[in-house]
Structure 1
Amino acid sequence: MASLFTRWIALLSMLTMSATAATAQSSADLNPARAAVSASGTQTSTNGHAPASLTAADINAWLDGLLPYSLDAGGIAGAVVVVVKDGQVLTARGYGYSDMRSRVPVDPARTMFRPGSISKLFTWTAVMQQVEAGKIDLNRDINAYLDFRIPPSHGKPITMRHLMTHTGGFEETAKYLIVEKAGQKHPLGDVLKRWVPARIYAPGEMPAYSNYGASLAGYVVERVSGERFEDYVQRHIFAPLNMRHSSFEQPLPASLAPLLSKGYNVASEEPKPYEIIELSPAGALSSTGQDMARFMLAFLDNRGALMKPETRARMFADVNRPIPALPAMALGFYHEDRNGQVIVGHGGDTNWFHSDLHLLVNSNVGIYMSFNSAGKEAAAHVIRQRLFDQFMARYFPESGSERRTASTARDHGRLMVGHYVSSRASTSNWLRFIGLLGEVEVSQNSDDTITVSALLDPAGVPKRWREVAPFQWREVGGSGRLAARVEHGRVAAFSIAEFAPIILFLPAPADLDAGWIMPALLAALGIMLLTALAWPVVAGMRKVYGYRSPVSGRALLFDRVMRFTAVVALLVAAGWMGMIAAINTDVGLLDGRLDIWMRLIQLMEVAAILGTLVSVYNAYVVLRSPDRRWFAKIWSILVPVAGLFLTWVVLSMGLLTIGLDY
């Protein structure tokens, strides 16, 4: 789905794209060429060549020269790329294999991929069909359509418009995101009622991409249409478009199951289990490249196959623009406008499938791509980004001359420096701690460019951003855009063009600022580690030298409790790090299997907190004792101070909770 836990670990916003460069181009060619206007007035790219003509012959030659090597270098089993233009399928290309063991080639007409959150475009289409039918009002309280209640928050109701623009205010969720056993799948309504995420923003105020919100919209379609969501999409979208190899059913019907591509981490490894998306309207689609071409053509042709032309216009219109200088959010689609083109689209990811869909509305062009492997060092993310960048640079290059560095670059770069958190976040559970680990740091370079720790080039090096207008930056050597919103002389938020409609980066509050929390956390754990290590070391030395400690009785008991607390605190830290590492390897573990281990860790947290309280009292006793050495007195203070800080981290970061919903 548009964000899975794997990339959440690196950054909640899906922005970390460090991977090996996996294209057939040189490093210089990997950067999209910017266009300039020649003296003759002919639009050309910076290398002096005119834009290529978007024909079947040219696009096929270009893709065939680019993708086979990219897949091989990136460790990706297979891919499909489809381009439509002027009401026709210009090309539909399959590359690599859908099954590595059987060497089954990818067939764009029959091989089904899992396009993840691109599924949401079908959900939004269904919603707008019901808007046309008069059964859904975009501005009505969503509770009017539900058989359970979304609790009130911030004094405002959530509307369908909020859901379609990802401004419902829900915190991020991860549990049951993907399960692997058919018996674990539940009806959509049951999944939504199981746990309603906290609302951390007022409706309509903050873009925070939400799988729960999109699935809630799909459930509304069920409620008002009287049809199960999967059946509704089949009858009202797939059937009219003759999308015969597409389905939201999980597992797939027997007639389609043999057509589904295997999913891989890396092509050289064994295929992964079938992924079941519990929040199905948010990411359960399986489809072929040819069927996705039909979907793109229905929106580009705008002849009423799915909805009235005026309804499509409503879906494409700007609805919310969080950063004025960057693209806006439409109804369900997000804008990716660049190079003078109005572009709407959506990305999508499951654990193993990675996809993008882009519609160049005014040029009547669409491109869809999907990869069935994450690849080496997440190569699929880099390849799909570069493929679209180069597609735009080749066929729709940017017009105009290079923009100079703004005179405000130094001052504005200084204002940007600091730590930022993603608006797509959790506050009520342990995922808040993940937000801390994935925090973004902005720094200023000596040449007045800035770098953002999470925005990396294919070599894993942070990109450099040059200010070209007040609080607007361009990627040095690339086409990326970054901009900030400033309020009262301070940076209130920033984002990049690809994600501005759905995710912002906000200045980290003091209680979530990794700039001081992480050093303090490491120092506290360091104190606990030294305390734990000293216990057997000192005991061994006493045994060797026959030394008998003067500490005895209650004082000795308190001392042992202090050291025991240190050991338990380290076990808690190791437990959470092990848990996070395991989930990062297999997001399927979020199906509830880890609950018992989380409870065990939380029991140890309670023990550590109680031990810390005893350690506080122990410090009082030691400081009052004239027989204790100065080092013992200092250490008796350091341990409870470290313990109190760790207790604050546990409570503040949601690591100790009554429930296990997250």
Structure 2
Amino acid sequence: MSSSIRKMVCKMMLLVLLGATLGATWLGMKAPVSAEAYSSGLSSGTQEKGIAVNLDNKEQLAAFIDGIMDVQMDSLQIPGAVISIVKDGKILLSKGYEHSNIEDNKPVDPETSLFRIASTTKLFTWTAVMQLVEEGKLDLDTDVNTYLKTVKIPPTYAEPITLRHLMTHTAGFEEGGVGYQITTDPEKLPVSIVETMANHMPARVMPPGAMLAYSNYGASLAGLIVEEVSGIAYNDYIQKNIFDPLSMKYATVEEPVPASLKPYAVLGYARANGEYVTKRPTFEGGFRPAGSGSVSANDMAHFMIAHLQDGQYEDKQILKPETARLMHSPAFQFDERLPAMDLGFYELNMNGLRVISHGGADELFNTALYLVPDQQVGIFVSYSGGDGGTAAGGLAQAFFDRYYPAHITNQSAATSIELGEPLEKYAGSYQFTRRNHTKIDKFFSFLTQINIEVSDNRLSIGSGADQQVYTPIGVNLFQEVGGKHQMGFRTDTEGKVTYLFLDILNPMPLEPTPLINQSKFWLPLLGISAVLFITVLLGAVYRRRQIKAMPRAQKWAVLLSVVTSVWSLVTLGATLLVMNIDLIDRLSHIPLSLRLYLFMPLILVGWSVAIVTMNVLAWKNKYWTLPKRVYYTFVTLAAVTLCLFFYHWNLLGWHFG
């Protein structure tokens, strides 16, 4: 997998807290160590001479994983990691690496060390939903309002939202989170799921079932349904119906972890001044069905075995076979040629194998879980800091390259003539469906877009060393050149592109970015406006004597342009600072600085109204020469442009979720 795509996946996992969707462009970033390096020369399906590949050989498997981890822990600055691998109902490998607590020199123990698994927690929630479905208490295709006792989803669209929509992330909710997604204060716990769902309901922005848009709210809403239909608190339901029957003794969805498990909680670390330092933990609060789990590797092995064995672990059955198989079957497909979205799991194509998966990340932990039903194989890996998202993807690919190497096939590229039309229709800017539309969160996706270009009958993403090139292999389908990944498009009846799907980013597709949302539209306008404001200030200094001699009305007009320019530049500078507010700060509370900042665009609107009025007077009364009036008009338009920018990105007023 190319570095930029892998980096994008990591960012998307981290921003499972907010959306995806969000931050910087994620393209052209530093290249990670390759999967080949991770595996110490044993990936890509090649082996040392005389060594046969056998997954059941535990010694070979342990040596192989050790080789990968040794490289990862150092090169990606990871302080602690754990992995468990299962096959045919047995644990082949369960091992910890480095420390769970550096200060106490405490090693990671795969049996007891609790790693935060973030969004991988959703698999517990989806399993609970399916348990209630097979009991007849829930139906996948019934309006969720039927089951909700307090919260009610508004009828924005004619078609209601169902549990199938929630489990496939096709409910059509926008994403949000600024000020409420998490908390860093354990004193505020526990937080009611129902109150959180009622107080922070996102807008419905797409008809149910139309398209994937990954949603933490949707998963949390499913957790609330489990709670209200079963009559058991969410935490207790998961403990009683999943953890206990699977003998998951070192697992919890409670926040903070119960006192009995606290000694086993792994600390998350960040790198500062060449050393690992602990950082404040984050809690999901009312969103815990979407990401509050803390689990050991051994216990996740039990969970994987149960799902691989049609719901059975040892003599316990947490799901009926037919229910488990339904859960693992495609429930929404962007394109039948591309990986599907199952009921809670998303599919990946790993060297031709159908893998059902889920990952999770917060600021300090990165987790990934991969199940291969046809091979009865499962992998769970979690990292307590560093570039864990890159590490997880590299380890998984190295594992599949060694034990399930891809069979190379020569798939000929299709020409634009064969496809019936040129590739230019696919070129352009794309934005994630998982984003915000109505709140201040929208602003934080300002720079989050992917650009696709066409060259030599191929599509490309990014540039330089991080560029990925795709060649057409069918209608609306493209294959990565020199890689294993695919990209697909949806088009309407007129052939216009409506959606983009990158298989490595399942379940987060993109759609064409309208001009009004494109950074390449706004950045030049903002740049030109800033230059105009600067020239106003320089001109005022240079021509101060001439201005002093002007008639009073003209002098006031110049002064107004100076004040407006100063305020515009200061507001633009403050906007850059707001864009870079620490992610955890903006998700856990509304910083006072953000509340105060939001006065600035409103004041700018006042100055802009004044300068527009003054501009009308300047033309009516013929202030200055014609070129100077034209110049004054451009300055006025620059101020109005800024106001429109703030309005479009929900920065006029306090649009908090």
> Normalization by structure 2: what TM-score?
0.90
1:363 maps to which of 368, 375, 382:
375
Q: Note if contact 2:116-2:365 (Cα within 8 Å) is conserved in structure 1.
A: yes
Cα distance between partner residues in 2 of 1:308 and 1:5:
30
Cα distance between partner residues in 2 of 1:266 and 1:145:
46
Q: Does 1:449 align with 2:458?
A: yes
Q: How does 1:184-203 map to 2 (within 5 A)?
A: 184-185=188-189, 186-203=191-208
1:498 counterpart letter in structure 2: I
Q: Does 1:473 align with 2:475?
A: no
Q: Does 1:504 align with 2:516?
A: no
Q: Does 1:590 align with 2:580?
A: no
1:133 counterpart letter in structure 2: E
Q: Note if contact 1:23-1:69 (Cα within 8 Å) is conserved in structure 2.
A: no
- Higher mean Cα deviation, 101-110 or 282-291? 101-110
Q: How does 1:439-588 map to 2 (within 5 A)?
A: 439-445=449-455, 447-453=456-462, 461-487=466-492, 488-500=494-506, 502-535=507-540, 537-538=541-542, 542=544, 549-584=548-583, 587-588=584-585
Q: Note if contact 1:615-1:636 (Cα within 8 Å) is conserved in structure 2.
A: no
Give the C-alpha shift of residue 149 in structure 1: 1.3
2:177 counterpart letter in structure 1: A
Give the C-alpha shift of residue 289 in structure 1: 0.6
Structure 1 residues 114 and 228: CA distance shift in structure 2, 3 A: same
Structure 1 residues 15 and 612: CA distance shift in structure 2, 3 A: closer
Q: Note if contact 2:22-2:446 (Cα within 8 Å) is conserved in structure 1.
A: no
Cα distance between partner residues in 2 of 1:242 and 1:336:
29
Instruction: Let me know the Cα RMSD of the aligned residues.
Output: 2.8
Structure 1 residues 648 and 626: CA distance shift in structure 2, 3 A: closer
Give the corresponding residue for 1:179.
Answer: 183
2:496 counterpart letter in structure 1: R
Cα distance between partner residues in 2 of 1:633 and 1:461:
48
Cα distance between partner residues in 2 of 1:401 and 1:28:
24
Q: Note if contact 1:115-1:353 (Cα within 8 Å) is conserved in structure 2.
A: yes
Cα distance between partner residues in 2 of 1:131 and 1:392:
34
Cα distance between partner residues in 2 of 1:548 and 1:139:
72
- Higher mean Cα deviation, 212-221 or 427-436? 427-436
Give the C-alpha shift of residue 27 in structure 1: 9.7
2:65 counterpart letter in structure 1: L
Q: How does 1:130-529 map to 2 (within 5 A)?
A: 130-146=132-148, 147-175=150-178, 176-185=180-189, 186-266=191-271, 268-278=275-285, 279-302=287-310, 304=312, 305-373=317-385, 375=386, 379-408=387-416, 413-445=423-455, 447-453=456-462, 461-487=466-492, 488-500=494-506, 502-529=507-534
1:461 counterpart letter in structure 2: D
The alignment covers a number of residue pairs equal to 632
Give the C-alpha shift of residue 29 in structure 1: 8.4
Q: Secondary structure at the match of 2:368?
A: strand
Structure 1 runs not aligned, ≥5 long? 34-43
Structure 1 residues 652 and 114: CA distance shift in structure 2, 3 A: same
Q: Note if contact 1:83-1:365 (Cα within 8 Å) is conserved in structure 2.
A: yes
1:606 counterpart letter in structure 2: L
Structure 1 residues 383 and 413: CA distance shift in structure 2, 3 A: farther
Residue identity (%): 29
Cα distance between partner residues in 1 of 2:435 and 2:174:
6
Q: Note if contact 1:18-1:382 (Cα within 8 Å) is conserved in structure 2.
A: no
2:208 counterpart letter in structure 1: P
Deviations 1:109-130 (A, max 9, x none): 1111011100000000011111
Structure 1 residues 467 and 47: CA distance shift in structure 2, 3 A: farther
Q: Secondary structure at the match of 1:611?
A: helix
Give the C-alpha shift of residue 372 in structure 1: 0.6
Cα distance between partner residues in 1 of 2:110 and 2:220:
28
Give the C-alpha shift of residue 631 in structure 1: 4.6
Structure 1 residues 30 and 62: CA distance shift in structure 2, 3 A: closer
1:157 counterpart letter in structure 2: P
Cα distance between partner residues in 1 of 2:18 and 2:163:
28
Structure 1 residues 15 and 396: CA distance shift in structure 2, 3 A: farther
Q: Note if contact 2:147-2:228 (Cα within 8 Å) is conserved in structure 1.
A: yes
1:441 counterpart letter in structure 2: N
Cα distance between partner residues in 1 of 2:22 and 2:643:
25
Q: Does 1:124 align with 2:130?
A: no
Structure 1 residues 228 and 627: CA distance shift in structure 2, 3 A: closer
Q: Note if contact 2:36-2:398 (Cα within 8 Å) is conserved in structure 1.
A: no
Structure 1 residues 356 and 559: CA distance shift in structure 2, 3 A: same
Q: Secondary structure at the match of 2:560?
A: helix
- Higher mean Cα deviation, 21-30 or 248-257? 21-30
